[in-house]
Amino acid sequence: MRMFGKAGKAAAVAAIAALALTGCGRSEPSGGSSSGAAGFDQNSSIGVALPQKTSENWVLAEKLFNDGLNGAGFKADVQFANGGVSEQQNQISAMVTKGAKVIIVGAIDGSQLGTQLKQAKDAGATIIAYDRLLLNTANVDYYVAYDNFKVGVLQGQALLDGLKAKKPAGPYNIELFAGSPDDANAKVFFNGAMSVLKPKIDDGTLKVVSGQNSFEQAVTQGWKAENAQRRMDTLLSGSYTTANVDGVLSPNDTLARAILTSVKAAGKPIPVVTGQDSEVESVKSIMAGEQYSTINKDTRKLVEHAITMVKDLQAGKKPEVNDDKSYNNGNKVVPAYLLEPVIVTSANVKTAYTDDPVLGPITK
């Protein structure tokens, strides 16, 4: 579902493979997937291992998985790992013990579950990576997510568009924020954005006043709002005593609101700030003219396709994928089904959520 033209598709796929997972080489998909081709009983247990409740979309996913799986006749076992990686490891092991036929994993840290995933595969379970790729393991069968590199591209372009709308001619003072370094998606988002922003940094259109322009300098541990706000406070006091910040690349809505809180507390003009996830308060902020943009990654559609994969596996069918070349996790190329993200700004906020039961009424 990538919207690439034929001429650029090969280059784009290669770029995604190189950027999404640093140090991972390309390879062809290895062998057949031991993904339950024989099918299984419809009332089987299906495990869903989710990370911490760091954003609204994860909370919604819990309800959607419970309702959707139970409604389809499965026994849903949905767990959050608010206690961290070790808790998620224990939860996956418990799902294996309970006889889960499929385990859907939204990892806290996709590189720390190798032992548990091998345990699951040895027991005959199919593993679906949800939203975040599982890294450095052969024991993952499918990946379902939004096109996360494109999310970053959309964020980078939105930052440029917002800056130009506020001030037609540069240069512009900006700062860069990234997500948690233990989340495999964080660097994908950042690299997607930098594919747009770095040429403008190099030619002087954009100036990162703090000089903190690498992923490692921009990360926000745990995706925590207080960490982003603290860093923005430090950036403002250290680099913007006389200047103003024109724009901030924020990887999600929670961090965007923390950044805006910091800017307001410092008495500075509101900069162009990007986001992601279409959280209620950020959508309201866009309508109020504060946060510039978010990304609509409809959790309902993502959960729906993950459950469709489970239904296909139960029926002994091979789940549909639309990308079987790009996502090398360091051990194998993982067949993926990618959904298309949508940028939302004040220009389309009133039409972007017309069928959303929560956001639709808010944006009327």
| Same domain? 190 vs 124 | no
Burial, 30: exposed, middle or buried (Cβ in 10 Å; 0-12, 13-18, 19+)?
Answer: exposed
Instruction: Give the CATH number, domain containing residue 187.
Output: 3.40.50.2300
Q: Is residue 346 part of a domain?
A: no
What one-letter code names the amino acid at 271?
P
| Same domain? 51 vs 167 | no
Structure confidence at residue 55 (pLDDT)? 81
| Same domain? 48 vs 135 | yes
Per-residue pLDDT band for 84 (boundaries 50, 70, 90) equals: very high
| Same domain? 161 vs 289 | yes
Q: Is the pLDDT of residue 270 over 90?
A: yes
Alpha helix (H) residue ranges in the chain: 6-20, 56-71, 85-97, 114-122, 148-166, 184-202, 215-218, 225-239, 253-265, 280-287, 299-314, 359-362
Q: Is residue 68 part of a domain?
A: yes
| Same domain? 181 vs 104 | no
Structure confidence at residue 17 (pLDDT)? 38
| Same domain? 290 vs 308 | no
pLDDT digits (tens, 9 = 90+) for 228-252: 999 999 999 999 999 999 999 999 9
Q: Any idea which of 180-184, 196-200, 286-290 has the lowest mean pLDDT? A: 180-184
Structure confidence at residue 180 (pLDDT)? 96
Per-residue pLDDT band for 7 (boundaries 50, 70, 90) equals: very low
Q: Is residue 92 part of a domain?
A: yes
Tally the domains of the chain: 2
pLDDT digits (tens, 9 = 90+) for 147-197: 999 999 999 999 999 999 999 999 999 999 999 999 989 999 999 999 999
Query: What pTM did the predictor assign?
Result: 0.82
| Same domain? 85 vs 115 | yes
In whole angstroms, give the CA distance from residue 256 to residue 99: 41
| Same domain? 126 vs 201 | no
Task: Give me the domain span that covers residue 319.
Answer: 6-140+298-340
Q: Is the pLDDT of residue 19 over 80?
A: no
